[in-house]
Amino acid sequence: MQAFLILTYSSHIQLSQPATLTSFHDLTARNELEGGDEYIDITITSPHKVGDGMNSFMAFKVNTKTNLSFFKKKESVVTRRFSDFLGLRDKLTEKYLQNGRIIPPAPDKSVLGMTKVKMSKEDDVSDQSDFVEKRRAALERYLNRTAAHQNLRVDPDFREFLELDAELPKANSTAALSNKNIMKIISKVGDKMTAYTTKMDETDQWFEEKTVMVENLDLQLRKLLTATEALVYYRKSLTGHTYTVAKGLAALGNTEENTKLSAVLDQLSEVYLKVEKVHEEQAKDDFFLLSELVHDYIGIVGSVKDVLNERLKAWQAWQGVQKDLNKRREGKARAELGGKLEKVQEINNGIKETERQLDMAQENFEKISRTIKKEFEVFEARKNQDFRQTIVKYLEKMLKAQENLVSHWERFLPEIKQLEL
């Protein structure tokens, strides 16, 4: 049975009063969960600062619920710092990227954002709540995407990250996959050919088409991110200006001698305050739903490009070994012409070893090519699902916001029409 994964992107601005802006804990998901399907549910809560000054750091609680048999615990709660998340990603990349696996990207570092948090005088980081919540939600999405990967979620380092109720070791003590040793041999041979920069002649049309598609996707996502960030800025500005208008109308009403006109101005001020709240919620949705989705996928597309580059490196290593083999054969021919029989035997031994390495390099290139095709199929399916779910959620919230705006104005207008000033 395919594992059932629940993704929860709980986002809120005020940490003390969370408001879920994105959540896939819908009725269907809960019904499937109760029906006994395999699942893993990861949420991140309680972001808090540990220590003072520039030596401080942010820590988060990682809550996991699962019925997957390879986990030791059905429920676990551990505390992890931001660097632990980055360390986990590094470990997974080291072990699986060279095999053609697409490794979900960890959230970006932010020196400016963390410096503000570190320099805050109290443990309460509410003044930096935008930054803290963005990081919390991004880390949650990162873990859930990793858990969705059939190969990555069984990894010992990933399970230890979720289950070990202790500080994580600084270095990776987990034995790597056996295939990694083979890869090291091939890579070392390829390293001898560092000057080998011949452009790859792509013979697989599938890879040629997908490479172009990925480049175009990356370009369009970056353009869209610029537009969504501008939209968020505009909506936040609109929120602030709406609040200023509300306060200005209230102040004007207080100075107005005509009591009826004063009442009208006061009511209009109240409407603007309600409208301001709607714009504020829209700004959150613009950011946590639309803009963050685009930002996430820029990182994911970057991971796809990384794995395509690994295939290129595998091909270059293969060609490097082939070039080394050609040189050895040429050397053998010269030795034979010179009658150097002992030298010929020595070269023959080297040729046999290089031929073995050539077979390994070719096999590795073909294997990583097959793996990438499978990974790409999953990537495209999840991309379609993520965009569909998020866009539907976003449109529902935008529609609700417009309904609220209309409702606020409709309730106000009849009352004003009935007043005789």
Lowest mean pLDDT: which of 85-94, 156-165, 408-417? 408-417
Question: Is there a contact between 170 and 82 (Cβ–Cβ < 8 Å)?
Answer: no
Find tokens 């699942």 and name the residue.
Answer: 39
> What's the angle, vertex CA 128, arms to CA 15 and CA 17, rounded to 5?
15
Tokens representing 207 are 């890879």
Q: How far apart are alpha carbons 359 and 47 in whole angstroms?
A: 51
* pLDDT, position 341: 80
Q: What is the mean pLDDT of residues 361-366?
A: 96
Q: How far apart are alpha carbons 372 and 101 in whole angstroms?
A: 7
How confident is residue 105, by pLDDT bands cut at 50, 70 and 90? very high
> For residues 138 and 19, which has the higher predicted lDDT (pLDDT)?
138
* pLDDT, position 61: 96
* pLDDT, position 177: 42
Q: What is the mean pLDDT of residues 404-417?
A: 89
Q: What φ, ψ does residue 68 adopt, rounded to 5°?
A: -70, 135
Q: What is the mean pLDDT of residues 173-177?
A: 40
Q: Taking the domains of the chain in order of start, what are their residue ranges?
A: 1-176, 182-421
Share of the chain above pLDDT 70, in %: 79
Neighbours of 369 (CB within 10 A): 16
> For residues 200 and 377, which has the higher predicted lDDT (pLDDT)?
377
Q: How far apart are alpha carbons 183 and 361 in whole angstroms?
A: 8
pLDDT tens profile 69-104: 999 989 999 999 999 999 999 999 999 999 999 999
Edge to edge, what strands does the sheet with 39-50 contain? 4-6, 39-50, 57-66, 75-81
Q: How far apart are alpha carbons 106 and 22 in whole angstroms?
A: 19
pLDDT at 387 over 90: yes
Q: How far apart are alpha carbons 372 and 381 in whole angstroms?
A: 14
Indicate yes or no: pTM above 0.85. Answer: no
Lowest mean pLDDT: which of 160-174, 203-217, 262-276? 160-174
pLDDT at 123 over 60: no
Q: What is the mean pLDDT of residues 330-345?
A: 85
* pLDDT, position 16: 34
Q: What is the mean pLDDT of residues 191-208?
A: 72
Find tokens 């970006």 and name the residue.
Answer: 108
pLDDT at 34 over 50: no
Q: How far apart are alpha carbons 117 and 133 in whole angstroms?
A: 12
Find tokens 């990925």 and name the residue.
Answer: 214
Q: How far apart are alpha carbons 115 and 113 in whole angstroms?
A: 5
Average pLDDT along the chain: 83
Identical fold at 1-176 and 182-421? no
Share of the chain above pLDDT 90, in %: 62
* pLDDT, position 176: 41
Tokens representing 388 are 């569909």
The alpha carbons of the chain give a radius of gyration, in whole angstroms, of 29
> For residues 111 and 234, which has the higher predicted lDDT (pLDDT)?
234
Tokens representing 307 are 């794995």
DSSP string, 126-153: GGGHHHHHHHHHHHHHHHHHHHHSTTGG
pLDDT at 269 over 70: yes
| Pairing verdict, β 4-6 and 39-50 | parallel
Architecture of the domain defined by 1-176 = 2-Layer Sandwich (3.30)
- Reduced to 3 states (helix: H, G, I; strand: E, B; else coil), residue 401 is helix
Among 329, 302, 318, residue whose Cα is nearest residue 357? 318
Map 197-213 to HEC letters.
Answer: CCCCCCCCHHHHHHHHH
* pLDDT, position 116: 60
> What's the angle, vertex CA 220, arms to CA 147 and CA 294, rounded to 5?
35
Find tokens 């000057």 and name the residue.
Answer: 195
* pLDDT, position 335: 85
Q: What is the mean pLDDT of residues 47-59?
A: 79
The single-letter DSSP state of residue 23 is -
Architecture of the domain defined by 182-421 = Up-down Bundle (1.20)
pLDDT at 12 over 50: no
pLDDT tens profile 211-264: 999 999 999 999 999 999 999 999 999 999 999 999 999 999 999 998 888 989
> For residues 307 and 17, which has the higher predicted lDDT (pLDDT)?
307
Find tokens 């963050």 and name the residue.
Answer: 292
Among 102, 85, 83, residue whose Cα is nearest residue 302? 102
Among 354, 365, 360, residue whose Cα is nearest residue 327? 354
